[in-house]
Amino acid sequence: MQSIPRLPLGCFPTPIHDLPSLSEDLGITLKIKRDDLTGLAAGGNKIRKLEYLIADAQSQGCSVLITAGALQSNHVLQTTAAGRKSGMRVIAVMDGAAPQTYSGNLRLSKLLGAELEFFESDRFVEDVRDYMAQRQAQLAQEGEAAYIVPVGGSNALGSQGYVNCVREMAEQYQAAGEAPPDYLVVAGGSGGTFAGIAAGCAHFWPGTKVIGIVITTNYFAQREHMAKLTEEAAAMAGFDQSWTAADIGLDYSYIGPGYGIPSPAGDFAVNTMASREGILLDPTYTGKVLSGLIGQVESGQIAPGSRVLFVHTGGATALLT
Ligand SMILES: *Cc1c(COP(=O)(O)O)cnc(C)c1O
């Protein structure tokens, strides 16, 4: 594995532990990787990506981060926390009109020191790239070097956070004297997490089947895009491996009514994890991911008795809005 500059920002390694009650309910051996506990602000998976992205920003002499997301974006929240901790200005471009009052993650991003800007577009994810590039050019004229963090922190560099996470997990399993899991189940959103994990598993845990439960219909999550990002992440990590869309283990059956809209199965999964294990998931990402895990156990895609690792990517602040 090549050595790519990383700025330590989070609390790592995050714990892995058993989920005994859910294991019993489902007839599998289920463990959880607690990347909801990454240590900055409300935790979550973007911190691992930002350790690489902010190291890159600083090596380029940038003092400002520009990023974008939905009004309740977990990514914006974590980018603000990580950027401010690193002594940088953070400009956050939010999808939609400025609300009368700020609640949830928007309020927390403001508290952490984000400079919020509101941008309305039907094709936000596509159009915001031009908006961010224009802001970067404006700042350059004012003498400030700004670095654009892509939506979700999902490019090959950001994905290195999850290549490294697989290395971390492999070390944790080894230290505990455990064989690698049969299945690893994780969210597929903007794709950086899945890509890093798929690339990392091919190298460190080649016998583990990676299942990405997709939670959005956005182009990011399409099979071809995910395969390309996985291949780029692996190449950057120095792994000689190629992927085709057919190799990518993505399941699109659990999106429900749409991105950010709760599904009955996802809500059931949030309730089950809370009441059986005392752990908070969220309705947009991790609840739907657990609903996919449960669905795949019920359908037999995950065989009874399998050893399964669920990656908790954070997001529970959404329960409070
Ligand atoms: C962003 C996010 C994801 C998805 O990760 P991607 O790398 O964007 O695919 C999953 N869970 C939570 C809680 C998130 O905030």
DSSP string, 159-192: HHHHHHHHHHHHHHHHHTT-PPPSEEEEEESSSH
Say whether the peptide bond before residue 13 is cis (omega within 30 degrees of 0): yes
CB 319 within 8 A of CB 280: yes
Which pLDDT score is estimated for 228?
95
Q: What is the torsional sign of CA 41, 45, 46, 51?
A: positive
Q: Which residues make Cβ contacts (< 8 Å) with residue 39, sequence separation at least 6?
A: 9, 10, 11, 12, 47
Report the pLDDT value the prediction gives residue 247, as an integer from 0 to 100: 82
With 60 as the cut, is the pLDDT of residue 73 above it?
Answer: yes
135 lines ligand 1 (CB under 6 A): no
pLDDT tens profile 133-165: 999 999 999 999 999 999 999 999 999 999 999
Active site residue 73: yes
- Minimum-distance ligand 1 atom for the alpha carbon of 314: 13
**DSSP 8-state code for residue 98:** P
Residue 40 Cα to ligand 1 midpoint, Å, equals: 16
Return the pLDDT at 2: 56
pLDDT cut 70: percent of the chain above it: 99
Return the ligand 1 atom nearest residue 190 CA: 8
Neighbours of 85 (CB within 10 A): 17
Ligand 1 pocket test, pick from 45, 293, 317 with the greatest ligand atom count within 8 Å of Cβ, gives: 45
- Residues 23-27: what's their mean pLDDT? 98
- pLDDT over 60 (residue 1): no
Q: From the alpha carbon of 46, which atom of ligand 1 is closest? A: 1
From residue 202, give the alpha-carbon distance in Å to each of 46, 61, 163, 178, 209: 22, 34, 10, 18, 9
Percent of the chain having pLDDT more than 90?
A: 94
Instruction: Write down the pLDDT at residue 219.
Output: 85
Q: How many CB atoms lie within 10 A of CB 300?
A: 8
Q: Using the 8-state DSSP alphabet, how is residue 112 labeled? A: H
Nearest CA to ligand 1 atom 4: 189
pLDDT in tens, 235-292: 999 998 888 888 889 999 999 999 999 999 999 999 999 999 999 999 999 999 999 9
pLDDT digits (tens, 9 = 90+) for 190-240: 999 999 999 999 999 999 999 999 999 988 889 999 999 999 999 999 998
Distance 203 CA to ligand 1 centre (A): 22
Strands 29-34 and 209-214: unpaired
Q: Which atom of ligand 1 is nearest to the CA of 282?
A: 13
Alpha-carbon gap, residue 290 to 285, rounded angstroms: 9
Residue 246's pLDDT is what?
83
How crowded is residue 301: how many other Cβ atoms within 10 Å of its Cβ?
A: 15
User: To the nearest whole number, what is the mean pLDDT of the chain?
Assistant: 97
Contact 44, 35 (CB under 8 A): yes
- 44 Cβ closer than 6 Å to some ligand 1 atom: yes
- Predicted confidence band at 19 (pLDDT cuts at 50, 70, 90)? very high
Residue nearest (by alpha carbon) to ligand 1 atom 8: 190
